[in-house]
Structure formats: structure tokens, C-alpha cells
């Protein structure tokens, strides 16, 4: 009986946490499963609970021909083909901690702007995949509104950079 009470208590705490985060970001909270939806930097953003953490997703205004990925160097990227080599951007701090992949090396130069590199380096967890018309970021946990806000800023910057390379140009 106690375990059932604990489960209800844990679920209630989780709902409160998601609801408070939604309020802090100006997003809408949707229950069962817990998720958030709202506008950030003129983009519709979804934040969804996953089995292992949280996924943040935004859509591009038009499909991009690029496939980009940013991941922590100490965690082997689970989305990249083993034959692809990571890009070296020439920023020692970035290259030491993060991996960047892009299927177009020339486009990667504009994607890896100093402002985006700095934003990505401020993040505790980086697992980003942009392809087609979406960019998604997997996080280990929900975090706080200010931390999620920084993640959303970086996600919006990646989406804007990808839009400069339309799928059918």
C-alpha cells in the first residue's frame, strides 16, 4: 500500500514540476504524458518526457538539406555513421569537449559560428540532431527554466542556421 502512495506522490510532484516549468517559460503544460508546448524565438517548441530524460524539438520553417549533430566527446554519438569524421572547428575548448558532424563541410563553417560554439559549451549535456525539418535535443532531465531557456536559445540558433541551406535550392 505504501508503494502505491509513493507512486501517486511522485507523479504529483512530477506534474507540479512540469507545470511550474511551463509557467516559467510561458509554455502550455499538457498531461499524460507530461509535455510542454510553446513559442520560443518565434518557433513552436515541444518538450516531452522520454524513458531516459527529456526531448526538446523544434521545426524549421522549411526543410534543410543538412544533417547536423552535436554531441559530447565522452559519449559516443549514437546517431552518426561510424565512417563520418567529426569536424574540427579550430576552437580548442569546443574541439576538446564536443563533437560536431555535418554532411556539408562548407555549410558547417557557418553553422559553427563562435556564438553557437559558446552556447553549446555552456550546456551541461549536448545531444543535438538536426535533419530535414526538425532539430531535437535530448536532455538527461528537465532542469530549471533558465537552463532550459539557454538550451532553447541554442536550438533556435541551430534551426535558423540550418534554414539557410534549404533542401531544394
User: Could you report the per-residue pLDDT of 22-74, keeping only the tens digit for each?
Assistant: 998 999 999 888 899 999 999 999 999 888 899 999 999 999 999 999 999 87
CATH number of 2-163: 3.30.1460
User: What is the pTM for the complete model shown?
Assistant: 0.86
Specify the range with the lowest mean pLDDT, choosing from 3-17, 57-71, 92-106: 3-17
pLDDT at residue 9 in the model: 58
The pLDDT of residue 169 is 60
H/E segment holding residue 78? none
Does residue 7 contact residue 18 with C-beta atoms inside 8 Å? no
Compute the distance between CA of residue 137 and CA of residue 139 in angstroms, rounded to an integer: 6
Query: What pLDDT shows up at residue 32?
Result: 82
Residue 105 above 60 pLDDT? Answer: yes
Digit-coded pLDDT (tens) for 110-167: 888 999 999 999 999 999 999 999 999 999 988 888 889 999 999 999 999 999 999 8
Q: What angle do CA 145, 148, 153 make, to 5 degrees?
A: 120
Q: Do the beta carbons of residue 155 and residue 119 sit within 8 Å?
A: no
Q: Is the pLDDT of residue 81 over 70?
A: no
Q: Is the peptide bond before 33 cis (omega within 30 degrees of 0)?
A: yes
The per-residue pLDDT for 76 is 58
Sketch the domain layout of the chain as residue ranges. 2-163
pLDDT-derived band of residue 85, with 50, 70 and 90 as boundaries? low
Virtual CA dihedral for 114, 120, 121, 125, nearest 10 degrees? -170
Residue 133's pLDDT is what? 95
Q: What pLDDT, on the 0 to 100 scale, is given for residue 78?
A: 56
Amino acid at each position: 500500500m505504501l508503494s502505491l502512495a509513493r507512486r501517486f506522490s511522485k507523479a504529483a510532484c512530477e506534474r507540479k514540476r512540469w507545470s511550474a516549468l511551463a509557467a516559467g517559460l510561458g509554455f502550455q503544460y499538457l498531461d499524460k504524458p507530461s509535455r510542454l508546448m510553446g513559442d520560443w524565438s518565434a518557433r513552436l517548441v515541444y518538450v516531452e518526457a522520454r524513458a531516459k530524460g527529456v526531448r526538446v524539438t523544434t521545426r524549421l520553417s522549411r526543410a534543410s538539406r543538412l544533417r547536423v549533430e552535436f554531441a559530447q566527446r565522452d559519449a559516443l554519438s549514437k546517431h552518426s555513421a561510424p565512417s563520418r569524421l567529426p569536424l574540427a572547428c579550430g576552437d580548442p575548448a569546443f574541439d576538446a569537449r564536443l563533437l560536431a558532424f555535418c554532411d556539408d563541410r562548407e555549410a558547417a563553417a557557418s553553422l559553427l559560428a563562435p556564438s553557437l560554439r559558446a552556447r553549446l559549451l555552456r550546456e551541461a549535456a549536448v545531444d543535438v540532431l538536426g535533419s530535414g525539418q526538425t532539430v531535437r535535443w535530448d536532455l538527461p532531465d528537465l532542469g530549471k527554466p533558465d537552463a532550459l531557456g539557454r538550451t532553447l536559445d541554442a536550438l533556435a540558433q541551430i534551426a535558423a542556421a540550418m534554414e539557410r541551406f534549404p533542401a531544394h535550392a
